[in-house]
């Protein structure tokens, strides 16, 4: 068996988690700094924990959505479109009716980071377990690990990011019940898709909507899914088994 490729990279903290970068060749000078600045910009716009952000002001009712920036309103429209597409399993509203775009913000940040790497042929950006890749890792496909939700120190399985470029996981093991759910069947859901927004939104939607939403997702989108139930039962789609 050949040795794994040597990767260059770095990391920085953003959005309450760690952003990790990896590439077979060193990134251009200043690129990591530019990526960190973009994450900071988006966090300043969308964070619900920064009282001066547009998101927090909309949530408090001190900023009307109609007076918010185009970027904020575009993100809200994206979330509303996904709410409709998932039959309401994904929602940008808290139970009290407050607008909360947390479900799309991290994916939008990763997507924006990709725009800053268009001149780099091979790379991986991992944000708290949600990953988007381009090219290959030293001639090999990128591989993402799926953590066991009941033993966070163990990998449950892996998926090869060859056909698809993105993987996202949503679960209750680390952050508890942070997703507004109508079905609590699953403890963790991972979705592999062509883009990070689809992967991230559908992972959240399936966690919130349960098996019925998983069936809907695989019928409507070309995705691969592995979902772990609260009793430990594992459901993996045929597409995920091919990628494992």
Residue-range domain boundaries for the chain: 8-243
Instruction: Express each pLDDT in 216-241 by its tens digit.
Output: 999 999 999 999 999 999 999 999 99
**Tokens representing 26?**
């060193």
**Residue 177 CB burial class (10 angstroms; 0-12, 13-18, ≥19):** exposed
pLDDT single digits (tens) 179-193:
667 778 999 999 999
Question: Which range among 129-138, 171-180, 181-190 has the greatest average pLDDT?
Answer: 129-138
Tens of pLDDT, residues 14-57: 999 999 999 999 999 999 999 999 999 999 999 999 999 999 99
Residue 1 scores a pLDDT above 80: no
Q: What is the pLDDT of residue 122?
A: 96
- Mean of all residue pLDDT scores within the chain: 92
Residues 159/143, Cβ–Cβ less than 8 Å: yes
Domain covering 8-243 in this structure, CATH number: 3.10.520.10
Check residues 201 and 179 and name the one with the higher pLDDT. 201
Query: Under 8 Å CB-to-CB from 131, ≥6 apart: which residues?
Result: 124, 125, 142, 144, 161, 166, 167, 168, 196
Determine the pLDDT at residue 174.
59
Task: Tell me the percentage of the chain whose pLDDT exceeds 70.
Answer: 95
Sign of CA dihedral 135, 217, 179, 174: negative
**Residue 37, both tokens:** 């600045």
Q: What is the pLDDT of residue 178?
A: 57
Gap between the Cα atoms of 122 and 128, Å rounded = 20
User: For residues 75 and 104, is the Cβ–Cβ distance under 8 A?
Assistant: yes
Q: Please give the torsion angle defined by the CA atoms of residues 10, 20, 166 and 128, in that order, rounded to the nearest 10 degrees.
A: 180
Distance between first and last Cα of the chain: 18
**Residue 7 near residue 112 (C-beta atoms within 8 A):** no
């Amino acid at each position: 068996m050949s040795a794994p490729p040597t990767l260059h990279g770095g990391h920085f903290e953003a959005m309450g988690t760690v952003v990790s970068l990896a590439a077979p060749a060193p990134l251009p000078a200043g690129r990591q700094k530019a990526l960190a600045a973009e994450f900071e910009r988006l966090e300043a716009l969308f964070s619900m924990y920064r009282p001066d952000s547009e998101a927090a002001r909309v949530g408090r009712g001190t900023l009307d959505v109609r007076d918010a920036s185009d970027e904020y309103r575009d993100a809200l429209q994206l979330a509303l479109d996904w709410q409709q597409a998932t039959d309401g399993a994904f929602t940008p509203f808290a139970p009290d009716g407050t607008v909360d775009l947390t479900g799309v913000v991290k994916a939008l940040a990763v997507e924006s980071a990709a725009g800053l790497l268009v001149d780099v042929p091979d790379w991986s950006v991992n944000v708290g377990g949600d990953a988007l890749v381009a090219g290959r890792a030293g001639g090999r496909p990128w591989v993402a690990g799926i953590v066991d939700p009941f033993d966070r120190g163990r990998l449950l399985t892996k998926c090869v990011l060859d056909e698809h470029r993105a993987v996202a996981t949503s679960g209750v093991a680390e952050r508890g019940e942070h997703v507004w759910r109508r079905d609590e069947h699953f403890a963790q859901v991972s979705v592999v898709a062509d883009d990070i927004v689809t992967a991230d939104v559908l992972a959240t939607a399936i966690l919130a909507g349960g098996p019925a939403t998983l069936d809907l997702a695989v019928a409507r989108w070309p995705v691969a899914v592995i979902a772990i139930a609260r009793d430990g039962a594992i459901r993996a789609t045929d597409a995920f088994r091919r990628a494992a």
